[in-house]
Each structure stands twice: as structure tokens, then as C-alpha cells.
Amino acid sequence: MKIKENPTRLDIAGTWRGIRMMLPLAVFTIAFGLAFGVAAVHQGLAGWEAMLMSLFVFAAPSQFAALEMWHSPLPLLALAAVTLAIHTRHMLMSAALYPWLKALPQRQQFAMVILLTDSNWAMALGEYQRGERNLGILLGGGIALWGAWVGGTAIGLAFGGGITEPERFGLDVIMLCFLLMIVVGGNPRAAMALTLVGSSGECINGVLVVAALPTCDGGCLHRWRGSRAIAWTLVQGKRLMSSSPVWQSLIAIMLMVVIAYGSRVLGLLIMSRVPLGPRVRRFVDAMSSSVLIAVITPIIVHGDGGVRLAAIAAGTVAVVMRNPLVSITMGMLCAAGWRWWVG
């Protein structure tokens, strides 16, 4: 006899539950947002630029990457390419959520992924695989993280001058420790992990190559076959950007917003045209674990001794206690202790 699944729903009770479940990480996300605010101050961004990024882009990796490119005139094409490369995984994340979201009208599906991040995606997908069908888990987790990220950014902007090395306090390993907690709970296959170690390295190399691209002028763009409309748009945007630093910043932030949100929507659009048979469902389930491993692996491989020690400590605590708050705390303490001791 076939067991009937619970219907997909979205309500206030589920949203509050999602907020409560994400509160332990939201506390640390405040510190993570503070680190971004501090970095923005030291990079010379205006307060309104950093706040607009956190309010509307809401993506730590691409925001930190943008800081390294934030100079006048802004390299629009390179910024767009780097943002797109970083957000490719969000397309896979939203695709993994489609079996849960497909019961909603398309507009509501698109709205549900506005606040999609690695953390609330991982938490919500884990709950879905355990039988949860209330989408408030996903939405509430996103609201908690968004509020913490924006609040942390504001604090960092206000007091950024007094914190010169946030990584010495272990603020850079917060996300790693949380994702390790999710991976340990999900028990992904080791074979998939080995496969993705290589692919993750290739992705990082691709991002570095794209980041090194110079800003193209109208001449080089027009030599791209079939790209006249794109070339015209970028050339006009470049002219507008050269007129005022404020316009440069607004256009760059708007571009990041469109790419960040567009990547999340694209995964849903692709999956809406793919029949959800048993094989596709198995593929999507495997893909969700793959994305997590692909995010974690390069952080550990390319990190310093503090990052690796944090990963070992957080993973061990996650296996023994399955408590995200304790796991993140131990990871931060180990990373900070290593850096204070070793230097």
C-alpha cells in the first residue's frame, strides 16, 4: 500500500520554527556580517554601498569577492563574471528544492528562493528528507540569517576601525563548521566526496581565471559573434558608470543582485521542464550532498592550519553531539587558538 505524502504548505508556525532552528547560526552570522562590514571599511567602501550589498545581494562569498575589485572605475564585466561563477551552486541548490516547491505557483516558488543561502538550504533540505513539508522552515531560516547578516554588517561599519584582523577570532570558519555539521548528519557517500574534490579545484581555478579578466571595451565586445545587443548594453553601461562614482556603485550592486537572484531562479526553471521520475529524484538527492561537499572541500584544502584544525574539531563534535552551536563554537575556538599560538 502506497503511503500518502503530507501536502506542501507554508504558514506562520512553520516560519517561526525555521527562525528558531536557525538562531544558533544566526548569532554567529552576526559576527560574520561584522567581518564583512569591517573589511568594507578597510577597503574604502561607503557605508551605504556595503549596506545595499548586504540588504539585496545577501551572499557572503560574492560580497567578499567584490571588495577585492571595488575601485574606480569598477570592472563591470569581471565583477559580473566572478559573481556568476560563485553563484552557480545556487542554481543546483534551488534545483534540489524543486520537488518540494513544485506544488506552489511559480511566483511563490521564485519568492521562496530570494533568501536562499547555503545554510538555510542545507537545514531545510535535511528536514524535507526526514518528511517535513512546511516551507516555513526554509523561509524562516532565510529571514533569521538575512536579519543577522544585515545587522552584523551595520555593526561592522559602525565599529570597523577597531577590528583589524577578524580572522584571528575565528570568524572565517563559521560557515565551514555549520556545513560540516550538516554533512555529518546527512552521511553523504565517500565516493561522491572523492569525485568532487577534483571538480571543486577546477571550479576555483575557473573563478581565479575569470577574476583576472580585464574590463573589455566596445571594440573587443563587438568581435564576439552574435553578441551585438550585449555589447551595446555593456558599452552604454560603461559610459554611464564613468560619469559618477555613485552610479558606478549602484550599477555594480544592481548587477550583482540580478545575477545572485537569477541563478536561484534558473535552477527552478530548469527543473520545471524535467519530468520528476524516480531517477531524477535520486539524482537531485545525490546532487544536494554533492553541492555541500563541493563548497566545503576547497575551504579545507586551501585554508591554513587554523581552518583545518577547526574542521577536525567541528566535525568531531558534530559526530559525538550533533549540536550546531557547540560544533561552531569549538571550530572558532580552535581556529583562533591556532592563529594566536602559531601566528
pLDDT at 57: 94
User: For a pLDDT cut of 70, what percent of the chain falls above it?
Assistant: 73
* Average pLDDT of span 162-182: 73
pLDDT at 5: 58
Give backbone dihedrals phi and psi of 277, rounded to 5 degrees, phi first. Answer: -80, 180
pLDDT at 209: 31
Neighbour tally for 21: CB within 10 Å: 19
Report the distance separating Cα 290 and Cα 217, nearest Å: 38
* Average pLDDT of span 152-181: 78
Report the distance separating Cα 188 and Cα 183, nearest Å: 7
* Average pLDDT of span 94-99: 88
pLDDT at 52: 95
pLDDT at 276: 62
In contact, 331 and 170? CB cutoff 8 Å: yes
Higher pLDDT, 2 or 238: 238
Strand partners, 134: 9
pLDDT at 180: 79
pLDDT at 290: 67
31: enclosing H helix or E strand: helix 12-43
| pLDDT class of 99 with cuts at 50, 70, 90 | confident
Higher pLDDT, 183 or 186: 183
As given in the structure block, the three cell numbers for residue 101 are: 516547491
pLDDT exceeds 50 at position 205: no
pLDDT exceeds 80 at position 238: no
Average per-residue pLDDT for the chain: 77
| pLDDT class of 221 with cuts at 50, 70, 90 | very low
Report how far apart, in Å, the C-alpha atoms of 227 and of each of 84, 221, 252, 298 are: 18, 7, 21, 34
Q: Per-residue DSSP letters for 233-273?
A: HHHHHHHHHTT-HHHHHHHHHHHHHHHHHHHHHHHHHHHTT
In contact, 324 and 120? CB cutoff 8 Å: no
pLDDT exceeds 90 at position 17: yes
Residue 147 CA from chain centroid, whole number: 15
pTM for the predicted model, two decimal places: 0.68
Higher pLDDT, 140 or 199: 140
Kindly give, in sequence order, each residue whose CB lies less than 8 Å from that of residue 22, ignoring residues fewer than 6 positions away: 119, 120, 123, 140, 141, 144, 145
Kindly give, in sequence order, each residue whose CB lies less than 8 Å from that of residue 270, ignoring residues fewer than 6 positions away: 91, 95
* Average pLDDT of span 100-116: 91
In contact, 75 and 214? CB cutoff 8 Å: yes
Report how far apart, in Å, the C-alpha atoms of 44 and of each of 39, 47, 198, 288 are: 9, 9, 36, 37
pLDDT at 163: 63
User: For a pLDDT cut of 90, what percent of the chain falls above it?
Assistant: 27
Higher pLDDT, 85 or 255: 255
- Highest average pLDDT, of 58-67, 106-115, 239-248, comes from 106-115
pLDDT at 244: 61
As given in the structure block, the three cell numbers for residue 329 are: 563554537
Give backbone dihedrals phi and psi of 236, rounded to 5 degrees, phi first. Answer: -65, -40
| pLDDT class of 258 with cuts at 50, 70, 90 | very high
pLDDT exceeds 50 at position 218: no
Residue type, 50: A
Return the minimum-mean-pLDDT range out of 53-67, 100-114, 168-182.
168-182
pLDDT at 254: 94
* Average pLDDT of span 76-104: 86
254: burial class by Cβ within 10 Å (0-12, 13-18, 19+)?
middle
pLDDT at 226: 45
Residue type, 7: P
